[in-house]
Amino acid sequence: MKDKILEAVQISKTYGEGESAVHALRNSDLTLENGTFASIIGSSGSGKSTLLKILGGLLPPTTGKVLLDGQDIYAMNAEQLAQVRRQKIGFIFQDFRLFPEYTVRDNILIPFYLDHRAQDEQMLHKLTGILGIAGKLHSRPAQLSGGQQQRVAIARALIAKPRIVFADEPTGNLDTRTGEDTMRLLMECAAEFGQTLIVVTHNPEIAQKAQQVIRIEDGQILKGEPQHEKGNLDTQ
């Protein structure tokens, strides 16, 4: 049995108070094993993005706790939590969130700049090679296609070798073919570096490739069991 990397215990999120209160997430439990590819699915407004942000340390729950490697991340102070996010967590967003004034190389290396760490040139070379953007390191985001920009965002999320990577609709702004290629590369990279991958998606084909499908409706997790017995990410 693989080690648990992430555990959510009775997490809920409520916005507002009294009759106007909105319950975005209700008393939900979730466990993820190291190296798993999990998908979060559900209708619009079901609580998918809220769940992802809480699991990733971006949004404190109203109640409950989130354990990353056994540590309650919301019991940490702001600096401790920021350090955990920089060193253990990677994020990929639908809208890329690249810095237009920076080159591709600098966009990818931002996690090292923020943490005042030496750059990992070997990892940079390996990642950009797998993602097919090695020849674009001195370009700026505006000179790239949408698919290329998302590959830069993937490289940035993975460059510091985080334990877990969260992706919020990573193919949402891409055409079907580019989205398929981008998702295949993301899965390949996560498998190559032994990272846990959690993807919010509306795409059933992406969801079906996951080892664990987390279905959420009306703020409640309905299913989070493994789909099959594989222990590692599989790009087949």
What the block records as the tokens of 140 is 């700026």
| CATH number of the domain where residue 188 is located | 3.40.50.300
Q: Does any domain span residue 231?
A: no
The gap between the terminal CA atoms of the chain, to the nearest Å, is 22
Q: Does any domain span residue 236?
A: no
The predicted structure's pLDDT at residue 58: 94
214 neighbors 39 (Cβ within 8 angstroms):
yes
Q: Does any domain span residue 230?
A: no
Q: Count of CB atoms within 10 A of residue 88's CB?
A: 18
Nearest to 94 by CA among 49, 159, 31, 41: 49
Q: Does any domain span residue 233?
A: no
pLDDT in tens, 70-129: 999 999 999 999 999 988 999 998 888 999 999 999 999 999 998 888 889 999 999 999
The predicted structure's pLDDT at residue 59: 95
The single-letter DSSP state of residue 5 is E
Q: Does any domain span residue 228?
A: no
Q: Does any domain span residue 180?
A: yes
Q: Is the pLDDT of residue 225 over 60?
A: no
Torsion from C-alpha of 65, 196, 169, 140, nearest 10 degrees: 120
Q: Count of CB atoms within 10 A of residue 161's CB?
A: 14
Q: Does any domain span residue 15?
A: yes
Number of domains in the chain: 1
Three state DSSP letters for 88-148: HEEEEECCCCCCCCCCHHHHHHHHHHHHCCCCCHHHHHHHHHHHCCHHHCCCCHHHCCHHH
Judged by average pLDDT, the poorest of 144-158, 183-197, 221-235 is 221-235
What the block records as the tokens of 6 is 């992430």
**pLDDT over 90, % of the chain:** 64
In terms of residue numbers, what domain contains 53?
4-223
Q: Does any domain span residue 117?
A: yes
Query: For the chain, what is the mean pLDDT?
Result: 89
pLDDT in tens, 143-169: 999 999 999 999 999 999 999 999 998
3-class DSSP state of 153: helix
